[in-house]
C-alpha cells in the first residue's frame, strides 16, 4: 500500500517557481458528463457532399452521425475537449486530472517518438531508464530546484504498510536522480561527454488541468547530458532546441518561435532555458519544448566531478531538455477546425482512408476488390492506409467520421469509378467540392505519385496557413500602453525590453501576459525599452499562455 501526500503541480515544462505558480490561470478540465454527445450539425456533414452521382448525394443525406463539435469561435475550450473526445484521442482517468490516452492519440505520440528517437541517436545520445521514485532528500539538495518543486510534489510516506524511513517523491523530473547516478559513473574526462535520454512518465500535481496540455501525469522524453566545458554544454542546449524547432516546422507543421526564457521564466535550477513557443488557434502561447543549460548547479549540489587532463578535479557542466505529450494538444489547437482534427500527414496515424461506396449487393464485390487493390498499392509505397469497409455505417457517415479524426486524404471508390479505373480523392484541409478531385487513375504508379504529392501539399499548406495566422497576430510595440492594447486584443506583443524582474511581474499582473521568450531572430538597430525608456539590446515576445 502506498500513502501519498499530494499538493498542486505547476505548468509542465515551465519554470516552476513559487512566483510563477501564483501567476497561472489555466483552464479547468471538464468532467466526462459535461461532454455532450449530440447530433452533428448540418453544416458539418455538408462539407463531405459529393456531386459525381445521385447515389452519393443520397448517401450524404442519409448520414446518421452521433457526435457534434462546438464551433471554435463559440467556445475554444469546449471545442478542444469535444475534438479530443469525439476523435477518440483520450478519455478521463478515474483520478481527477488524469487521462487515458486512447490508441489513436497514442499513435500520434508514437509518431513524435519515432522522429525524435532517430534524431537523439544521430546526435550521440543513448536511451536508458531511471526509477520513478526519488528520495525526498535529493530534491532538497539544489536550492532553487526545491523552491520550485517542493510545494507541488506527490510524496510517498507509507510503503508495504509501514511508515518509510525517508519520504519518496514520485518523479516530477529527473535532474536529481540523474546527478546521483552520474556522480557514480563519471570519474575522468574520458567519461565525458555522457549523453542519455529516457522516455518516461512524470507526475506534477495540477489543481487545474487540461487534457494533453496540463495533467497530473504525462509522458515525455527527458534528455540529460554532462560535459567537460561550459562551451560544450551551451552547444548541446542549443543543438537540442534546434532539433525541437525542426521537428515542429517539418513534422508538426507548427511555426514555433525559438528563443531564450527570461530570468523569471527560467527552469528552476538552470542557468538558461531555451524554448519553442507556438501560437494556438485562440492566439494563446504554448510552450512546446524546452532545453536547459544547467551550468554546474546540480553538479555542485551532488558533487558530480571529474578529473581533467591536468589531474584537476572539476564539476561537470550539464544540460536537460524535454518534449511531452502536450505537443499532441498543440497539434490539435494549431490545425483543427469546426469539423474536428486536422493532422499533418507526417504525424498522422492514418494518412489515407479508403471509403468504398455501393448501393446494390451485386456492386459490392467489385468495389471492395478495387478498394483492396488501391490499399495494397499505397501500403507497398509506405503510405499509412485504412480501408473502412464496414457495413454498419453509410459512406456519408464515414466521410464525417474520418474528417473528424483528421485523416489528410480520403479516397472514394464507387461502381462508376471501378468501371472507369479511377478514384475520387478529397483533401481534409480543403472542405467540400474545392478539395475533391474526380477521375484519378488507379494505375499504381500514377496513383502512388498523386497521393504522395497531395500529402506533401497538405503538409506544406498547413505550415503556410499556421505561419500566416501567427504573423498576422503578432504586434510590434514600442510603449507599455501599446503592449497592453495588443494583449487586450488577444494578440502577441513584440517589443524592446531591458526592464527588471519586478517590471516583468507587473506586466503579468496587469495584463495576464508573460515574456514567452527573447527570440533568437532579433531585429537590427538601436532599441529603447518599452517599459523604462532605457537602451535595450533585445526584443521580447509577450503573450497569454497555457
- Band (55; pLDDT cuts 50, 70, 90): very low
**Fold that domain 76-335 belongs to in CATH:** BirA Bifunctional Protein; domain 2 (3.30.930)
Of 66-80, 500-514, 519-533, the range with the lowest mean pLDDT is 66-80
Q: What percent of the chain has pLDDT over 70?
A: 86
Of 28-37, 203-212, 327-336, 530-539, the range with the lowest mean pLDDT is 28-37
pLDDT mean over 116-140: 96
Domain 352-454 in CATH 1.10.1040.10? The answer is no
Tell me which of 311 and 149 has the higher pLDDT. Answer: 311
- pLDDT score at 66: 57
Q: How many CA atoms lie within 13 A of 108 on its CB side?
A: 29
Mean of per-residue pLDDT scores for the chain: 88
534/496 Cα distance (integer angstroms): 10
pLDDT mean over 174-182: 95
- Band (146; pLDDT cuts 50, 70, 90): low
pLDDT mean over 191-209: 93
Superfamily for the 474-543 domain:
C-terminal domain of ProRS (3.30.110.30)
pLDDT at residue 23 tops 50:
no
pLDDT at residue 17 tops 50:
no
- What residue spans define the domains of the chain? 76-335, 352-454, 474-543
pLDDT digits (tens, 9 = 90+) for 446-501: 999 999 999 999 999 999 999 999 999 999 999 999 999 999 999 999 999 999 99
Report the predicted TM-score, pTM, of the whole model to 2 decimal places. Answer: 0.87
pLDDT digits (tens, 9 = 90+) for 242-258: 999 999 999 999 999 99
- pLDDT score at 296: 97
Element (H, E) at 535: strand 535-536
Of 63-72, 325-334, 422-431, the range with the lowest mean pLDDT is 63-72
User: Which are the contacts of 457, defined by CB distance < 8 A and separation ≥ 6?
Assistant: 427
Grid cell of 118 as nine digits: 532517430
Question: Please, which residues bridge with residue 436 across strands?
Answer: 426
Of 47-61, 140-154, 166-180, 322-336, the range with the lowest mean pLDDT is 47-61
Q: How many CA atoms lie within 13 A of 99 on its CB side?
A: 28
Amino acid at each position: 500500500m502506498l500513502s501519498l501526500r499530494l499538493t498542486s503541480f505547476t505548468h509542465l515544462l515551465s519554470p516552476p517557481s513559487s512566483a510563477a505558480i501564483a501567476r497561472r490561470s489555466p483552464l479547468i478540465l471538464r468532467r466526462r458528463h459535461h461532454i455532450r454527445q449530440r447530433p452533428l450539425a448540418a453544416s458539418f456533414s455538408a462539407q463531405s457532399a459529393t456531386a459525381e452521382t445521385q447515389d452519393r448525394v443520397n448517401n450524404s443525406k442519409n448520414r446518421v452521425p452521433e457526435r457534434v463539435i462546438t464551433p471554435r469561435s463559440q467556445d475554444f475550450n469546449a471545442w478542444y475537449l469535444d475534438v479530443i473526445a469525439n476523435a477518440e484521442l483520450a478519455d478521463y482517468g478515474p483520478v481527477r486530472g488524469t487521462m487515458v490516452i486512447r490508441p489513436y492519440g497514442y499513435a500520434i505520440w508514437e509518431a513524435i517518438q519515432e522522429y525524435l528517437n532517430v534524431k537523439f541517436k544521430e546526435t550521440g545520445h543513448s536511451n536508458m531508464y531511471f526509477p520513478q521514485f526519488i528520495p525526498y532528500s535529493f530534491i532538497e539538495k539544489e536550492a532553487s530546484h526545491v523552491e520550485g518543486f517542493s510545494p507541488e510534489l506527490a510524496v510517498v510516506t507509507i510503503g508495504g504498510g509501514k511508515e518509510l524511513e525517508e519520504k519518496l517523491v514520485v518523479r516530477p523530473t529527473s535532474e536529481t536522480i540523474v546527478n546521483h547516478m552520474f556522480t557514480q559513473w563519471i570519474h575522468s574526462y574520458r567519461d565525458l561527454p555522457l549523453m542519455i535520454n529516457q522516455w518516461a512518465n512524470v507526475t506534477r500535481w495540477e489543481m487545474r488541468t487540461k487534457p494533453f496540455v496540463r495533467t497530473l501525469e504525462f509522458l515525455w522524453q527527458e534528455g540529460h547530458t554532462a560535459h567537460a566545458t561550459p562551451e560544450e554544454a551551451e552547444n548541446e542546449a542549443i543543438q537540442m532546441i534546434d532539433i525541437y524547432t525542426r521537428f515542429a516546422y517539418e513534422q508538426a507543421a507548427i511555426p514555433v518561435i525559438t528563443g531564450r526564457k527570461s530570468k523569471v521564466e527560467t527552469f528552476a535550477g538552470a542557468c538558461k532555458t531555451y524554448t519553442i513557443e507556438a501560437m494556438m488557434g485562440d492566439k494563446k502561447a504554448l510552450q512546446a519544448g524546452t532545453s536547459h543549460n544547467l551550468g554546474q548547479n546540480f553538479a555542485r549540489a551532488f558533487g558530480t566531478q571529474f578529473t581533467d587532463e591536468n589531474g584537476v578535479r572539476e564539476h561537470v557542466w550539464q544540460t536537460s531538455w524535454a518534449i511531452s505529450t502536450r505537443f499532441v494538444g498543440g497539434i490539435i489547437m494549431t490545425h483543427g477546425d469546426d469539423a474536428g482534427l486536422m493532422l499533418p500527414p507526417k504525424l498522422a496515424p492514418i494518412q489515407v482512408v479508403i471509403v468504398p461506396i455501393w448501393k446494390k449487393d451485386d456492386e459490392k464485390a467489385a468495389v471492395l476488390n478495387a478498394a483492396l487493390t488501391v490499399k495494397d498499392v499505397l501500403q507497398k509505397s509506405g503510405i499509412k492506409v485504412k480501408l473502412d469497409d464496414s457495413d454498419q455505417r453509410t459512406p456519408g457517415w464515414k466521410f464525417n467520421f474520418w474528417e473528424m479524426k483528421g485523416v489528410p486524404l480520403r479516397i472514394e471508390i464507387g461502381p462508376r469509378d471501378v468501371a472507369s479505373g479511377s478514384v475520387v480523392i478529397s483533401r481534409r484541409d480543403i472542405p467540400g467540392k474545392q478539395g475533391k478531385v474526380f477521375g484519378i487513375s488507379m494505375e499504381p504508379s500514377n496513383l502512388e505519385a498523386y497521393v504522395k504529392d497531395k500529402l506533401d501539399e497538405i503538409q506544406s499548406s498547413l505550415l503556410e496557413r499556421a505561419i500566416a495566422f501567427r504573423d498576422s497576430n503578432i504586434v510590434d510595440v514600442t510603449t507599455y500602453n501599446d503592449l497592453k492594447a495588443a494583449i487586450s486584443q488577444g494578440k502577441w506583443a513584440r517589443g524592446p525590453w531591458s526592464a527588471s524582474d519586478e517590471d516583468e511581474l507587473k506586466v503579468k499582473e496587469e495584463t495576464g501576459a508573460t515574456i514567452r521568450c527573447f527570440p533568437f531572430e532579433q531585429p537590427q538597430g538601436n532599441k529603447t525599452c518599452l517599459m523604462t525608456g532605457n537602451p535595450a539590446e533585445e526584443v521580447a515576445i509577450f503573450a497569454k499562455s497555457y
